Amino acid sequence: MSKGHLNFYCGMDGFSRFHFNDIADGETIVKVVHRNWFYILQQFLGIIVALILYGTAIVFLPTFFPDLANGPLRTIIAFAENFLLLALWIFSFMVWIDYYFDVWIITSERIVNIEQQGLFSRRSSELRFSKIQDVTTEVKGFLGTVLNYGDVLIQTAGTEDEFLFRTVSDPYRIKDVIMELQKTANHDKDEEFGEMIKEKIEGQDQI
């Protein structure tokens, strides 16, 4: 990828102003990738259903079982209601944390995968473009096609882990960006190798 193309990608996504601790001098953030919004919507659908059932129970149970509202079980029921609300709030918070802090950062030099594991643990791994062997895009089902989301699987060389972009928006474009950066990395590597051989030959000629 030429410098002009790189600047185009950065300007288009507006991520040139972002920074993370391990970025090297001259390294540029090309794209920051989160999961598609439909992923978190799926997670919250269960919470919404639980809240509807909770509200329905609060309204109608005293009507059909009046002893629950005034009897000795009232304290236990109130505790259960508050506990359920707290559990739903905590679960909602965990879903949001998992969605917001799971991120893939594509830079001009590598791919950085930051995965949130619970509230207080994060796992970070990186992949250099020279290690990439193949990039596969998979879009499943009607909704994936219409909403344009899917998975991007990166096959790596040697014993490196596979990199999986899960349920991300515009997976075909992400694949194109990665492939362009991989070509650039391989081209630069070939040029460096050629320069090294040239210098070695010139050194032998001088001897």
Query: 168 to each of 105, 137, 149, 157, how far by Cα in Å?
Result: 13, 10, 5, 23
Q: Please report where in the chains the tokens 């920051």 appear, as a residue.
A: 32
Instruction: Give me the pLDDT at residue 101, please.
Output: 84
What is the chain's pLDDT, residue by residue, as a tens digit (207 residues)? 444 444 434 434 444 444 456 677 778 888 899 888 888 888 888 888 988 888 888 777 777 776 666 666 777 777 888 888 898 888 888 888 888 888 899 988 889 888 877 777 778 888 888 888 889 999 998 988 999 999 999 988 765 567 889 899 999 999 999 988 888 877 665 555 445 544 554 555 555
Sorted by where each begins, the domain ranges of the chain are 3-35+102-206, 40-98
- Selected from 3.40.50.620, 3.20.20.70, 2.30.29.30, 3.40.630.40, the CATH number assigned to the domain covering 3-35+102-206 reads 2.30.29.30
Instruction: Give me the pLDDT at residue 57, please.
Output: 80
Instruction: Give me the pLDDT at residue 14, please.
Output: 45
- Nearest-Å Rg of the Cα atoms of the chain is 26
Residues 6 or more apart in contact with residue 110 via CB below 8 angstroms: 126, 127, 128, 129
Instruction: Give me the pLDDT at residue 206, please.
Output: 55
Q: Please report where in the chains the tokens 């002009």 appear, as a residue.
A: 4
Q: How many angstroms separate the CA atoms of 141 and 61, rounded?
A: 40
Length reported for the chain = 207
Whether 106 contacts 178, CB under 8 Å: yes
DSSP 8-state symbol, 188: H
Model pTM score: 0.68
**Token pair listed for 200:** 């070695």
* Sign of the torsion formed by the C-alpha atoms of 162, 165, 167 and 170: negative
Instruction: Give me the pLDDT at residue 138, please.
Output: 92
